[in-house]
Amino acid sequence: MAAVGLISSCTLPLVPLLRPRIPKRSPSHLHTTASCASKDYYEALVLGGGTGGITMSARMKRKVGAGNVAVVEPHEKHYYQPLWTLVGAGAKQLATSSRATASVIPPGVKWIQSRVQKLDPDENCVYLENNQKISYKYLIIALGLQLHYEKIKGLPEGFKHPKIGSNYSIHTVEKTWKALQDFEEGNAIFTFPNTPVKCAGAPQKIMYLSDAYFRKTGKRSRANIIFNTSLGVIFGVQKYADALLEIIKSRNITVNYRHNLIEVRADKQEAVFENLDKPGVTEVYQYGMLHVTPPMGPPDVLLNSPVSDAAGWVDVDKETLQHKKYPNVFGIGDCTNLPTSKTAAAIAGQSGVLDKTISSIMKGKTPTKKYDGYTSCPLVTNYNRAILAEFDYNAQPLETFPIDQGKERLSSFHMKAHMMPLLYWHGLLKGFWGGPAPIRKLLHLGLK
């Protein structure tokens, strides 16, 4: 729920006239189920039909031809998840974040609508549901990550009660907006789990938007806004952390570091947090609104897989995205162990590098293009303001524009809200957007 490479990722409604028309698909674009797939071998097999998977299937189509590429993806819908921050704040409709999966699969590329059950890189094959075996020459793993609401006692069943929501799930994002509207008084609590997450800025974006909504509706004086985070800092890049702390101070928001949500008693409107610096110590908070960011982890199929590290993330070289053991296997996006923030912007930057890496491997050459860890997070701080954070592996700012992006700006919000969805659907997913590095170099006269 981050940035689409700048330009960004997590958005106010687009002007109806700007809404792109989705073309009708010809029969060649229709999917096949695993049981009736027309082939059991593809030169390029892509696992996952999310951002990274669709992007790389478009790029691989240009390398080896559409008929030699297949995407394995079980879901009928593809979502632009960065939009859900604004859906949860009532600034966007959920329906505007989705398209049919069939409409985003590159024309001619096979969509195998199934789930991956097992990866066997030693035999260059994967097994799908019904024990369907698909072999490949090159494998791109783009399986995303998995939400674990169930690791919080009382969830997900607690979402049946009012005053609680989560922008991270299609099933709960609209509950955030309902909880925001129904809030009358008391604690409005926003959480950050003790695990890796996608779009690490999203848990606090909805907090700033809630503050703005309470002020707009005259409820702010009755609201005690609390950010309980398992982290020890507000943000991992000092420049943007300093800017956010100023906002937090000016808006009278309470931040409790090293506090991890472990239980929700939704019937009593109570949230229980553990103090990570004091093992065994817990605190119970009453809430009038609760936004939950769930624990996250790698998909089950990657746990204990030959392609994964000990934690279950796809084990790739952080510069080339090539697997460390299997030279014809590659990873992209949230499912990898790349030490950068998991955002759509990161995927954009990774896709350009991975494209070059695979081209080199196909030619028998050593990859030379290197990924610098570029990622971006448009930190929405109001319904018309955002801080456009961009940074690298070293948590150093890597800003595109020759202005101070650490300041709240209307222009940054418009990029997030209006430009990024268009860039996502018509640039990134088509395999034409590999991040803003060329623009950055041009705007900084080649100095960055």
pLDDT in tens, 353-368: 999 999 999 999 999 9
Nearby residues of 31 by Cβ (< 8 Å), 6 or more positions away: 101, 102, 105, 110, 111, 112, 113
- pLDDT in the model for residue 142: 98
pLDDT grade for 64, boundaries at 50, 70 and 90: very high
Q: What is the mean pLDDT of residues 336-352?
A: 97
pLDDT grade for 268, boundaries at 50, 70 and 90: very high
Q: Of 37-46, 404-413, 436-445, where does the model show the most confidence?
A: 404-413
- Exposed e or buried b per residue across 407-434, where buried means at least 16 C-beta atoms within 10 angstroms of its C-beta: ebbeebbebbbbbbbebbbebbbebebb
- pLDDT in the model for residue 126: 98
Say what percent of the chain tops pLDDT 90: 90
Q: What is the mean pLDDT of residues 125-133?
A: 95
Q: What is the mean pLDDT of residues 179-185?
A: 98
Which helix H or strand E contains 329, and what residues bound it? strand 329-331
pLDDT grade for 32, boundaries at 50, 70 and 90: very low
Q: Please report which residue ranges of 290-448 form alpha helices under DSSP H.
A: 344-362, 410-414, 420-423, 437-443
Evaluate whether 319 touches 371 at the Cβ level (below 8 Å): yes
Angstrom distance (rounded) from CA 133 to CA 111: 15
Q: What is the mean pLDDT of residues 4-25?
A: 36
Helix axes 51-64, 344-362, angle to 10 degrees: 30
What are the phi and psi torsion angles at 362 (to 5°)? -65, -25
Q: What is the mean pLDDT of residues 264-283?
A: 97
Distances (CA, A) of 25 to 73, 108, 110, 377, 423: 18, 10, 13, 33, 21
Which two tokens mark 201? Answer: 């800025």
Choosing from 10, 36, 125, 199, the catalytic residue is 199
Q: What is the mean pLDDT of residues 64-90?
A: 98
Radius of gyration, CA atoms only, the chain: 22
Q: What is the DSSP letter of 153?
A: B
pLDDT grade for 379, boundaries at 50, 70 and 90: very high
Which stretches of 181-253 are assigned E, i.e. beta strand?
186-192, 223-229
Q: What is the DSSP letter of 46?
A: E
Which two tokens mark 195? Answer: 């695990």
Evaluate whether 44 touches 58 at the Cβ level (below 8 Å): no
Evaluate whether 339 touches 373 at the Cβ level (below 8 Å): yes
End-to-end CA distance of the chain: 26
Q: Is the pLDDT of residue 425 over 80?
A: yes
Is 125 a catalytic site residue? no
Q: For tokens 């789990």, name the residue.
A: 193
CA angle 66, 69, 70 (to 5 degrees): 125
* Mean pLDDT over the full length of the chain: 92
Q: For tokens 């260059």, name the residue.
A: 124
Is 36 a catalytic site residue? no
- pLDDT in the model for residue 445: 74
pLDDT grade for 227, boundaries at 50, 70 and 90: very high
- pLDDT in the model for residue 16: 31
Which two tokens mark 302? Answer: 């990657």
Evaluate whether 392 touches 341 at the Cβ level (below 8 Å): no
